[in-house]
Amino acid sequence: MTTIEPTETTSGAAGAGALGTTASGTTAADVLRAHIRDVTDFPQPGVVFKDITPLLVTPAAFTVVINELAATAGGYGATVVAAIEARGFLLAAPVAYRTGVGVVPIRKQGKLPGETVSRTYDLEYGTATLEVQVDAFRPGDRVLLVDDVLATGGTAAAAAELVRQSGAEVVGLAVLMELTFLSGRDRLAPLEISSIMEV
């Protein structure tokens, strides 16, 4: 059985994204790669889904990854972490806790109580809408968006617009994996993006 040790992250400039290493020299990317399962033909034929469940059920590996994301939040000087539905919730809450900042859920339409603002964006097969409560962010907040995967960038772009609409600043996007062949980074430019691993 492999032992995974906590990461030690080198501090640096905001957004530098230097990957932390465990005491044994293993990077957060190595740990993440070892705890991702490919599921073919899900959610539709021809798609290879990157399942993070093996990461979530392995406390030592999950700790390494959360430490890495928390170091990113600190490097950007984030004062709020915004969780993009749904797997972003699983990552953003412990990152906010570890960093000592608040966490705000950005949800699919109709899931939040009270007054909300929304942003609709295009998908390959239609449209989707994200919402956030009107008072979730304040002018001057430095917001780090957190999600599991950066694919085409549509969801992240809509989330970023919701944050900016409130008068807060989006300091970056932190993800576990970036699917580089889908060029989501280009769509989000000039937003700073930090990914633990590229696919």
- For 84, residues 6+ apart whose C-beta sits below 8 A from its C-beta are 92, 106, 130, 145, 146, 147, 155, 156, 159
Catalytic residue among 8, 107, 119, 124: 124
Per the annotation, the verdict on 192 as an active-site residue is: no
Per the annotation, the verdict on 87 as an active-site residue is: yes
Q: What is the CB-side half-sphere exposure of residue 77 using CA atoms within 13 A?
A: 8
26, 54, 181, 84: CA torsion to nearest 10 = -110
Catalytic residue among 5, 33, 85, 87: 87
Active-site positions read 87, 124
